[in-house]
Structures are given as C-alpha cells and as structure tokens.
Chain A
Amino acid sequence: AAGVIQSPRHLIKEKRETATLKCYPIPRHDTVYWYQQGPGQDPQFLISFYEKMQSDKGSIPDRFSAQQFSDYHSELNMSSLELGDSALYFCASSLWGQQFFGPGTRLTVL
C-alpha cells in the first residue's frame, strides 16, 4: 500500500539558511499535518491543511510557512534557520481521521 512520502530524508543546513521540506500524502487523503520532534522530545503539531486550506495552526514559528498544492502535496518552508530548528519533521496525512505518518525528514542545522 502507498505510504506518505517525505523528501528529503536528511538535510543539513547552516544557520540563517532556508530549507524546504516536501510531503506527498497517501493518494486521496485530503488532510496533511506537519509535526516537529526535537531530540528526546515528543512530536509537536505545527500546522495542518484540509483541501488545500490551512485548517489549524500550532506552535509554528513565523519564520516557517507551509502550503498545500492542487495535487495535495505540501511543502514546509523554513527560513533564517536556527540551531534549535534541528529536529525530525513529520508529515502525516488522513482521509477519515486516521493519521498516517511519513518517515520524517531529519534536519540538522550547523
């Protein structure tokens, strides 16, 4: 069965650089969620989209932005990266509520 695809799987950036994380939901899933998991932490909700519209917003820094495109894939754009942004970023998708997680993108900011 198709799963959530995230790219890249690993990303290394310098401070103050920008990063773009991509998420391809399971086909026909209409909702995408982004979570951030810092080292040794539980995942924290960032933002979600339903039918290409932002549906909820969590503790997402102003330096981050996200959108969902017409093909339902989503991108998380992160600017002015800080050391504290180093984390595992998960995308999840759902159709009838059950959230399926992607493998995550591990971002390291040096």
Chain B
Amino acid sequence: AQKITQTQPGMFVQEKEAVTLDCTYDTSDQSYGLFWYKQPSSGEMIFLIYQGSYDEQNATEGRYSLNFQKARKSANLVISASQLGDSAMYFCAMREGDAGGTSYGKLTFGQGTILTVHP
C-alpha cells in the first residue's frame, strides 16, 4: 500500500498567490515525521519544512507552512506569495519511528507534484 500519496500530478498558480499541495500518509506508528522537499529542474533535493507527529503547532518556515491534520492523516504544504522560482517538483516524505524529531530512519516519498508558477 502506498504510504505517501500526492494526488496532484501538476498544479498551476499565479505569481504572488498562495497554493496548497496535498499530501496524505498512512502509518500505524505513533511517532513519525513528515517532510516536504523541493526538486528544481537541476535535480537537487532541497529541504523545505518538517512536522513531527507530536508537534501541536503547524510548522512554518518563511513562506512555507504545513497544514497538519493528524486525524485525517494529511500534511499539506502551503506556499504563500508564490514566486517564479517556486516552479519545481515538490515531494512529500515520511519517516517512521521519529522521537522528538530525532530518528535515523529512511524517508518514504510520495509521487511528487509539479508546480508551475505563471507570471
């Protein structure tokens, strides 16, 4: 069974607008971590944001915020004030067995969403 599901193969947004990228996950672990990475066309994987399963507050990093709904097992990424440079592939990933943000477990990735920002 797919552990991380990103149902939007592609998304389009106008520059300066906000966009939400969806991610749902499946795990029986109580401790886990959720990540979002950005992969531009150049190929590197850029860490954006992290949410631990026990974190009560939604994570925020600059223009990125994570809308964490534990009961629904969703961890959507919200990008505010989109910029042309935000055009890239975005991956949601999960690490099971997290404890307070520290874990040495592997990441399991979703299929990714290609975001295109229009001027």
A interface residues (Cβ-Cβ under 8 A, vs B): 31, 33, 35, 42-45, 48, 50, 55-56, 58, 88, 90, 92, 94, 96-101, 103-104, 106
Contacts and interface: CB of A to CB of B under 8 A. Distances in A.
Interface in B71-85: none
B105 interface: yes
Contact of A33 (B43, B44, B91, B106): B106
Contact of B43 (A42, A92, A104): A104
A90 B47 CA distance: 14
Contacts of B44: 101, 103-104
Contact of A45 (B33, B43, B106): B106
Contacts of B43: 88, 103-104, 106
Majority DSSP secondary structure for residues of B touching A: loop
Contacts of A96: 101-102
B107 interface: yes
Contacts of B18: none
Majority DSSP secondary structure for residues of A touching B: strand
Contacts, number: 57
Interface of B: 33, 35, 37, 43-47, 50, 91, 95, 98, 101-112
A3 to B, nearest CB: 10
Contacts of B103: 97
Nearest to B45: A101
A58 B109 CA distance: 13
B47 to A, nearest CB: 7
Contacts of A104: 43-45
A42 B110 contact: yes
A97 B33 contact: yes
Contacts of A100: 47
Contacts of A90: 45
A58 B3 CA distance: 15
A48 B104 CA distance: 9
